């Protein structure tokens, strides 16, 4: 495993390797002099930037706050403490907002399942301060999306994308969420009607709702995904983003360490959605980078698509090594996303390209009775957009 760790992290800076060593607990049992030797040459400013980028300041602060300041510079500990404190208040603020929004949906008869946020932090770590979250992700039935938008607007939220349009018939399976932000509270809510943006198979909301559970954190009823559904969702979410924040991988590690899961049930759900290689990828990355212990059931899941999982894992570490705000900034991201898809999902990917988008509607507004014309016109509208984009780039 040590050999694999060195192989996967060969291009990581010393500071990122140090972060992983701290999470793995490798410095805990070392003598002070040995730790000081390991830390020689550390660029602590880069260390802090990496910790912030990967959203690990709360976890690391609790690990090193009692260490001798001669080992970790005092300004590093203080910076982490400030980030930890600010995150605690941020998560408390999000908690209140989560209860208000979910409560408003519930009062209007809109069933809802919170996907991440404070409820997830408490579920995984038992302490909301140990995980960061910038927004609330709430899954609802597709037919309730317009009512949910009205509720959010009545609470003072504003759509970041503009009012969702029903002018394109493919909107339900082309998109998976819409984002709202409160201009005063600075909180963000994403309404999901699908768990994932691709057109692959996924579990129907009715079944997710039937299997869902109540959060033990909140005073008011807030529903969460069943733990096996949650594991599959977090694995898919992390893979889709190229695991460019280590926080997502730490979530997987934490679930494996602290939650009893029916791994066979997880495997069946990933298989039904054509995502077994993604499960294998996540387990390999977690075991190699975080030293996550895998029992026989997890090892069987890892080996179910071992070759594909290993290839995806090697590509995933490339995104971890880039301090980017979106993996889309990396040229190889599109080919990586395509590699995540099953054969069926790849077929649908090409079919999707034939369907009109809201960009087409904005570019050439047509009355509803003529919307069928967007299909034959789509290649020409796409080509025209490309010409305009290239022209603007040359002028810039």
Lowest mean pLDDT among 73-87, 106-120, 269-283, 369-383: 369-383
Predicted local confidence at residue 370, as pLDDT? 73
Separation CA 52–CA 353 (nearest Å): 37
Q: How many CB atoms lie within 10 A of CB 123?
A: 24
Residue entry with tokens 């039935």: 141
Domains of the chain plus CATH, in order, are 93-225 (3.30.460.40)
Q: Which span out of 301-305, 334-338, 389-393 was modeled with the highest average pLDDT? A: 301-305
Taking residues 124-137, report their average pLDDT.
95
- Whether the predicted pLDDT of 170 surpasses 50: no
Element (H, E) at 272: helix 263-272
- pLDDT score of 30: 82
236 neighbors 215 (Cβ within 8 angstroms)? no
What is the average per-residue pLDDT within 27-56? 91
State how far the Cα of 124 lies from the Cα of 208, in Å rounded to an integer.
19
Average pLDDT, the chain: 87
Q: What percentage of the chain exceeds 90 in pLDDT?
A: 64
Confidence tier at 383 by pLDDT (50, 70, 90): low
- Categorize the per-residue pLDDT at 274 as very low, low, confident or very high, splitting at 50, 70 and 90: confident
Looking at the predicted structure, is the pLDDT value of residue 342 above 80? no
DSSP secondary structure string for all residues of 296-324: HHHHHHHHHTHHHHHHHHHHHHHHHTS--
């Amino acid at each position: 495993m040590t050999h694999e760790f060195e192989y996967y992290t060969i291009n990581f800076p010393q500071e990122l390797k140090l972060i992983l060593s701290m999470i793995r607990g490798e410095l805990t049992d070392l003598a002070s002099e040995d730790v000081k030797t390991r830390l020689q040459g550390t660029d602590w400013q880069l260390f802090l930037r990496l910790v912030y980028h990967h959203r690990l300041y709360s976890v690391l602060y609790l690990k090193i706050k009692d260490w001798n300041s001669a080992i970790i510079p005092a300004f590093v500990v203080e910076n982490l403490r400030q980030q930890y404190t600010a995150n605690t208040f941020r998560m408390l603020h999000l908690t209140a907002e989560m209860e208000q929004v979910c409560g408003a949906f519930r009062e209007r008869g809109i069933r809802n399942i919170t996907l991440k946020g404070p409820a997830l932090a408490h579920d995984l770590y038992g302490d909301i301060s140990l995980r960061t979250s910038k927004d609330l992700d709430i899954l609802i039935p597709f037919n309730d999306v317009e009512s949910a938008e009205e509720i959010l607007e009545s609470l003072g939220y504003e759509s970041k994308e503009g009012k969702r349009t029903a002018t394109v018939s493919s909107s339900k399976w082309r998109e998976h969420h819409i984002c709202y932000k409160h201009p005063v509270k600075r909180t963000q809510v994403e309404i999901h009607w699908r768990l994932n943006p691709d057109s692959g198979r996924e579990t129907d909301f009715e079944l997710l709702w039937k299997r869902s559970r109540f959060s033990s954190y909140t005073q008011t009823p807030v529903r969460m995904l069943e733990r096996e559904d949650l594991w599959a969702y977090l694995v898919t979410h992390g893979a889709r983003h190229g695991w460019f924040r280590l926080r997502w991988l730490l979530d997987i590690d934490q679930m494996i360490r602290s939650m009893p899961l029916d791994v066979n049930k997880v495997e069946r759900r990933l298989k039904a959605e054509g995502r077994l290689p993604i499960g294998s990828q996540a387990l390999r990355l977690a075991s190699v980078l975080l030293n996550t212990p895998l029992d026989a059931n997890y090892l069987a899941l890892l080996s179910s698509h071992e070759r594909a999982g290993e290839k995806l894992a090697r590509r995933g570490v490339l995104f971890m090594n880039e301090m980017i705000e979106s993996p889309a900034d990396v040229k190889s991201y599109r080919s990586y996303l395509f590699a995540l898809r099953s054969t069926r999902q790849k077929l649908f990917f090409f079919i999707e390209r034939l369907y009109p988008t809201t960009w087409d509607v904005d570019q050439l507004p047509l009355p509803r009775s003529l919307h069928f014309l967007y299909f034959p016109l789509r290649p020409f509208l796409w080509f025209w957009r490309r010409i305009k984009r290239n022209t603007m780039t040359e002028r810039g």
